[in-house]
Structures are given as structure tokens and as C-alpha cells.
Chains A and B, each alone.
Chain A
Amino acid sequence: MSGFKETLKDALRQVSFRTSVEKLRKKGIQEVSVLGLDRIVGLVEAAVHRSLRTRLMGIEREAVAESTKAEFLRLLRSHEDLQREKSEIERARERAEEEIDQMRRELTQKQSALQDRLERGSVDQANRYVGEDAAIAAKVTEVIGAIASESDTASHEVLNERLMALVMDVVSAERQSADGARKELQDREVGILQRRIKKLSDTLSSTEQRLVKATAVKDFDTGISSIYREVQGLNTADTQAAKKKELMADIFRANLALQKRSKGA
């Protein structure tokens, strides 16, 4: 029983909330009635017993009381389990949010790394050109130095030849490189075009076959079929069949006479 009392007290504490006298005063509450926890537990116990006593005459009240308590405890435990689950879900959500944040940070890092690499690539290219330019300048300086160290009567032809050789050297290297790149590009474009041509040829071939089949269907008739496959005539079930038969005969005779007159003319 004491265990039940303690459990009940705990349950009451869980459903209650704490507040201060100041807050109550701010809400306009000047006086409150105070009821101690033990008193509430006592009242609940008394209510339960009284209820059992009046309603369960001749039945084992103790057994009912015990089962009621067990049910109460079961509900309380279920409430505690739910609270625990809620905490776990909240923890799982927090973990997921952390992971998302982590992934966002990694994504930002990778994007900046990519940006760096792209910038470095262009810098490398620029540096390569600087390097190449320096190499060219060094060669030119060497040539000019060689010419200057020779006698003052060095001929224009020698100067020209050596400068020309240097320039042609550099230019031919660039040309080879450009030619290589151009050829590669051309090969790629040619490849694309060849594939397109093949596709078009295949389409043309199949269309020609369809055209041959269509033209083979001669005398395509655009008329609409009649609903009758045979000549009809009067419906013998018609109530006016006899009269209509006479009328048909009259029409026919008039037309036959007209036709004979026309042929005679």
C-alpha cells in the first residue's frame, strides 16, 4: 500500500506544475487554497474504497482494488514508456540535424576546394606561359649575347639567320601543339557528324520502305461505306407496304418512260 501511495504521489507531481506566488499575484490571484499531497492521496484512496464498497457488495473488494491498482500502475508505466520514446525520437532528430549540418559543412568545403582548383588551374596555365615566355627570352638573350661577343663586323645575314632559327623553333613548336589540338577537335566533330549521318541514313531507309508499302496500296478509296451490303427494297412488315409498292412502281414507270424518251431523242 505504501508503494501505491508513493506511486500516486509521483503521478500527481508529474501532472502538476510549479509557479511562484508573485506570478499568481500578477494574474490577480490574491488568495489560494492549499491542499497537501498526502491529503490528496488520502482522498483518492478513500474515494476508491468508498466506491468499491458501495458498488462491489459481495465481491472480493481486495481483488478488485488490487487489479485497479495494477491497471493504474500499468498506465503509469505506459506513460513513462511514451515519455522515454519521445525523448529517443527527439534525440534521433537532433542526431539527424547534426548530420545534415555536417554534410552542409563538407559540401561547402568541397565547393571551395573546387573553386581553388579551378583558380589554381588557370594560375598554372598562366605560370606555364610565363615560364615559356622566360625560356624564349633567355634564348633570344643568348643569341643576342653570342652575336655581341663576336666581332663588330658580324653580318646581317648571320644575325637574321640565327634570329630566324630561334623564332621558327618557337613557332613550329606552337604550331604542332595547335595542330594537334585542332585535329583532335576535328576528329571529335567528324565522329559526331558521322554518327548523325548514320542515324539519318537509317531513318531514310526505313521511311523509304514505308513509302514503298504505301504506294503499293493503289487506289486508296476515301469514300465512306454505306451501311447496306445489298440492295434493300421495301420492308414487307411496313403497314403501308402495299401502298408504297404501288408508289414505287409508279415512280419507276415514269422514269422508264423518261429514259426511253431520252434515248429516243
Chain B
Amino acid sequence: MSDNSDKSTNRADEDKKDHGVLYIGMDLGTSRTSVSASNGVRETVFSTVGYPKDHVSSKLLQKDVLFGKEAIEKRMSLRVYRPLEKGVIKSEADGGDDANMKAARDLIGEAIRIAKPRSDELVYCVIGAPAEASMTNREAIIEAAREHVDSVMLCSEPFAVAYGLDWLEDVLVCDIGAGTTDLCRMHGTMPEDSDQVMFDVAGDAVDAELAKQIEATCPGAQFTIQMVKEIKERYGFVGEPSERVMVELPVDGKPTTFDLTEQLQAACSVLIAPIVDGIKQLVATFDPEFQQKLKNRVLLAGGGSMVKDLDTAVEHAMHERLGGGKVIRIEEPIYGGSNGALKIAHDMPEDYWEQLK
């Protein structure tokens, strides 16, 4: 891949990188990509990439590519991609196209850029990938990241969450994202395939259900999936409501107030059963001596864990179906994965980084 002149150039470039070492932990998600870095940067960006549709929009926007919130806001002028739909990058082999791969590469590049690395520092990056990402996907992620960093590694996203909290044994991580919910049990060693469960009932499924509910119960209400997502993120809950959820939606152009309390509760509740099914599967196939301990250490992480009272609801369901359990929501659901990846990057020995350059 590289000839001697490239190697000597690379070595010369690295010699200039004597200012320090920047560690980056990245959580690549369907909806959000979060970054935590050892220079104090912690940022999150929506995993949306947009390219101007034509020359006119290109001149108007004065950019060749837009990311995150900006891409969502200007979506009418853009070709918009969510390159990590359902937690995987749709390459050509998966029925996707080059444009999707390019969007994924650009998104990873943007994530590294927002970590604000210095040009005279070594950059070592650990990326938390979905547990069941294919080899092709992993290669694509590595390839995209290598353009911007000196050395990069992948790890399982739920594993990164647990590692970040120093919970390495007898813990079950439930990472609720937008595209997928990943469950992973930790037992002191690297999780294997049998330690991981993934299903696609997650944030996007809640949005779809809520949209369906609104369509059925609010005649004439005009809305987009983006609006539904914002309603969910702001008001989402399960269990008993503490107050009514009143939301304004346009009807024939006129803002009209709707009571969406029941609809929200019903939509968010779709998460509970699959999560408990996944927990049951992992607990039941675990060493019986440690099953009780595992049940009592269920960690909820990811953006989906911010649904109000979801931890209580899952715990209640576990009591009914599994005879007990304890569910804890991590303190920083958005940054749990990236913080854990950062910690892995920090702890990784130097010669491992060197060998992967």
C-alpha cells in the first residue's frame, strides 16, 4: 500500500508530532456521534450528512458538505444521508452505494475534527462500533478514520460503556440507540458473540410508533418524523405521567394543541418488552452461579435510556418475568460510550498503537 518514500514521509511527519498525544474516544451511532478527547473536548453531533443538491444550493450554502443539526435544518437544499442506519454502514455489498460510504467517511472525519486535534500531536482513536457490525463495516470505519488519525482501533460499544465505568464483571449493559438496542454481558474478558444481543427496536422504532399514534388520534395534524423525534426527546416517558403532555401541531397551517400523553406513553413502552427479552436471554444462558448478580447489575445507556422512568419500568418487568433485578441508568447516557472508548484509548499500551499505525 505504501512505498518507502511514503514511509519516510510519514516518519518525518511523525517526528514533527512531538507536542503530545491526543486520545479520542468515539461513539458512532445511528442518530448521534459523540466524541470525548483527552484535551477536554466533549461534543456530540447528529449522524446526518448533507451535500448540496446543485450548484445553486452549493453557492448559497458556501459549503460542500454539512453535518448534524445544520444538515437537518438545511435539508431542503441537500441530499441527506444517515450513513449509520440501523447501526451499520450500508456499503455496496450491503445494498448501499458509494455515496453512503463517502457520507460515513465524512462523518468520521467531522467527528475527529470537532475533537480539535493539533497538527503536532499524535492522535490515537478508539471507536465504539455496534456489537454486530459486519467485517466490511468495521473495515470501512477503520479506513475512514485512518485518513485523519495516526492509529485507530475498534471495540464493542456496550463493552466501552462498561469499561468506562470500571464495571468489568457480572454486569449487563443495555445500550439503547436510535437504530439498534445492544445488550452485552461482561464477565471479565472480551465479550464474545454469545455475550451480545442486538435488535432493531430502539429510538427510531419509538418515533415510528409515535407517528402512527398521532396520525390515528390527531386528525389533520401535520408533522414530520423530525418533529416527532423532538417531541419524544423532550417529553418521552413510560409509566404514570407526572403531568399532561400538551404539544402544538399545525392543522391546515394553524397551530393546534393536542394532548399526546397516552400516545407518548404507548410509543415509548414498545422498548420495554424487547429489552427484558434480551436480558432474559443473556441471563438464562449465563453461569447460574452468577445469574442473580448479573440481574442486579443492569446498566441502561444510550440516548434511548433518557426516556423518563424507563429504568423503573424495565426493573418492574424484570421482577414480573425474571423474579427480580436492579436497573441503573448511567449518568451521562450521551457520552457513556465515547467516555469508555476514551478510557480504552488511554489504557492501551504504546506498542499496540505503534503496531497498528
B327 at the interface (CB under 8 A from A): no
B19 at the interface (CB under 8 A from A): yes
Q: Are B346 and A232 in contact (CB under 8 A)?
A: yes
Please report the C-alpha to C-alpha distance between residue A231 and residue B18 in the assembled complex, in whole angstroms. 11
The 0/1 profile, CB within 8 Å of B marked 1, for residues 206-246 of chain A is 00000000000001011111111111111100001001101
Please report the C-alpha to C-alpha distance between residue A246 and residue B154 in the assembled complex, in whole angstroms. 16
Q: When the two chains form the complex, which single residue of B116, B143, B188 contacts A222, counting CB atoms closer than 8 Å?
A: B116
Please report the C-alpha to C-alpha distance between residue A200 and residue B200 in the assembled complex, in whole angstroms. 68
User: How many whole Å from B84's CB to the nearest CB in chain A?
Assistant: 18
A263 at the interface (CB under 8 A from B): yes
B120 at the interface (CB under 8 A from A): yes
Q: Are A240 and B119 in contact (CB under 8 A)?
A: no
Q: Are A247 and B352 in contact (CB under 8 A)?
A: no
Kindly specify which of A28-36, A48-56, A172-180, A249-257 makes contact with the partner chain: A249-257
B344 at the interface (CB under 8 A from A): yes
Q: Are A231 and B190 in contact (CB under 8 A)?
A: no
A155 at the interface (CB under 8 A from B): no
Q: Are A226 and B350 in contact (CB under 8 A)?
A: no
B348 at the interface (CB under 8 A from A): yes
B205 at the interface (CB under 8 A from A): no
Q: Are B349 and A248 in contact (CB under 8 A)?
A: yes
The 0/1 profile, CB within 8 Å of A marked 1, for residues 161-190 of chain B is 001001011000000000000000000111
* Most chain B C-beta atoms within 10 Å of own C-beta, residue among A244, A246, A261: A244
Q: Are B21 and A255 in contact (CB under 8 A)?
A: no
* Also in contact, A233 and B349, with CB within 8 A (given A223-B116, A224-B41, A247-B168): yes
Q: What total of chain B residues lie within 8 Å of the partner, measured CB to CB? A: 44
B22 at the interface (CB under 8 A from A): yes
Which chain B residues numbered 51 to 103 have a C-beta less than 8 Å away from chain A? none
User: How many whole Å from B67's CB to the nearest CB in chain A?
Assistant: 18
B219 at the interface (CB under 8 A from A): no
Chain A interface bracket (under 10, 10 to 19, 20 to 34, 35 or more): 35 or more
* Also in contact, A255 and B153, with CB within 8 A (given A223-B117, A223-B119, A232-B21): yes
Which chain B residues numbered 137 to 160 have a C-beta less than 8 Å away from chain A? 138-139, 142-143, 153-155
B121 at the interface (CB under 8 A from A): yes
The 0/1 profile, CB within 8 Å of B marked 1, for residues 160-201 of chain A is 000000000000000000000000000000000000000000
Q: When the two chains form the complex, which single residue of A221, A223, A246, A256 contacts B356, counting CB atoms closer than 8 Å?
A: A256
Kindly specify which of B32-40, B264-272, B328-336 makes contact with the partner chain: B32-40
* Also in contact, A251 and B344, with CB within 8 A (given A224-B41, A225-B19): yes
A265 at the interface (CB under 8 A from B): yes
Q: Are A228 and B153 in contact (CB under 8 A)?
A: no
Closest-by-CB residue of A relative to B169 is A243
Please report the C-alpha to C-alpha distance between residue A252 and residue B155 in the assembled complex, in whole angstroms. 9
* Also in contact, A219 and B119, with CB within 8 A (given A226-B39, A250-B190, A256-B356): yes
* Also in contact, A263 and B347, with CB within 8 A (given A231-B21, A243-B188): no
Please report the C-alpha to C-alpha distance between residue A261 and residue B137 in the assembled complex, in whole angstroms. 13
A258 at the interface (CB under 8 A from B): yes
Please report the C-alpha to C-alpha distance between residue A235 and residue B166 in the assembled complex, in whole angstroms. 13
Residues in A with CB closer than 8 Å to B20 are: 225-226, 228-230
Please report the C-alpha to C-alpha distance between residue A240 and residue B121 in the assembled complex, in whole angstroms. 29
Residues in A with CB closer than 8 Å to B153 are: 251-252, 255
Q: Are A226 and B163 in contact (CB under 8 A)?
A: no
A14 at the interface (CB under 8 A from B): no
Please report the C-alpha to C-alpha distance between residue A251 and residue B125 in the assembled complex, in whole angstroms. 13
Please report the C-alpha to C-alpha distance between residue A240 and residue B347 in the assembled complex, in whole angstroms. 12
A19 at the interface (CB under 8 A from B): no
The 0/1 profile, CB within 8 Å of B marked 1, for residues 40-77 of chain A is 00000000000000000000000000000000000000
B237 at the interface (CB under 8 A from A): no
Residues in B with CB closer than 8 Å to A219 are: 119
Q: Are A251 and B155 in contact (CB under 8 A)?
A: yes
B355 at the interface (CB under 8 A from A): yes
Closest-by-CB residue of A relative to B166 is A240
Q: Are B118 and A250 in contact (CB under 8 A)?
A: no
Q: Are B352 and A252 in contact (CB under 8 A)?
A: yes
Please report the C-alpha to C-alpha distance between residue A234 and residue B343 in the assembled complex, in whole angstroms. 10
Please report the C-alpha to C-alpha distance between residue A235 and residue B122 in the assembled complex, in whole angstroms. 20
Q: Are B142 and A258 in contact (CB under 8 A)?
A: yes
Q: Are A231 and B353 in contact (CB under 8 A)?
A: yes
Residues in B with CB closer than 8 Å to A262 are: 139, 142-143
User: How many whole Å from B172's CB to the nearest CB in chain A?
Assistant: 17
Closest-by-CB residue of B relative to A223 is B118
Please report the C-alpha to C-alpha distance between residue A240 and residue B166 in the assembled complex, in whole angstroms. 8
B23 at the interface (CB under 8 A from A): yes
A112 at the interface (CB under 8 A from B): no
B12 at the interface (CB under 8 A from A): no
Please report the C-alpha to C-alpha distance between residue A235 and residue B349 in the assembled complex, in whole angstroms. 10
Residues in A with CB closer than 8 Å to B190 are: 247, 250-251, 254
A102 at the interface (CB under 8 A from B): no
User: How many whole Å from B174's CB to the nearest CB in chain A?
Assistant: 20
Q: Are B39 and A227 in contact (CB under 8 A)?
A: yes
Please report the C-alpha to C-alpha distance between residue A219 and residue B13 in the assembled complex, in whole angstroms. 14
Closest-by-CB residue of B relative to A232 is B346
Residues in A with CB closer than 8 Å to B41 are: 224
Contacts A224-B116, A233-B347, A262-B142 supplied; 15 other A-B pairs, CB < 8 Å: A223-B116, A223-B117, A223-B118, A224-B40, A228-B20, A230-B21, A231-B21, A233-B348, A240-B166, A248-B344, A248-B348, A252-B348, A261-B139, A262-B139, A262-B143
Q: List 7 A-B contacts (CB under 8 A).
A: A225-B39, A231-B124, A233-B349, A240-B168, A249-B352, A258-B139, A261-B135
Complex A-B, nearest 4 residue pairs according to Cβ-Cβ distance, in ascending order: A223-B118, A250-B190, A226-B22, A231-B350
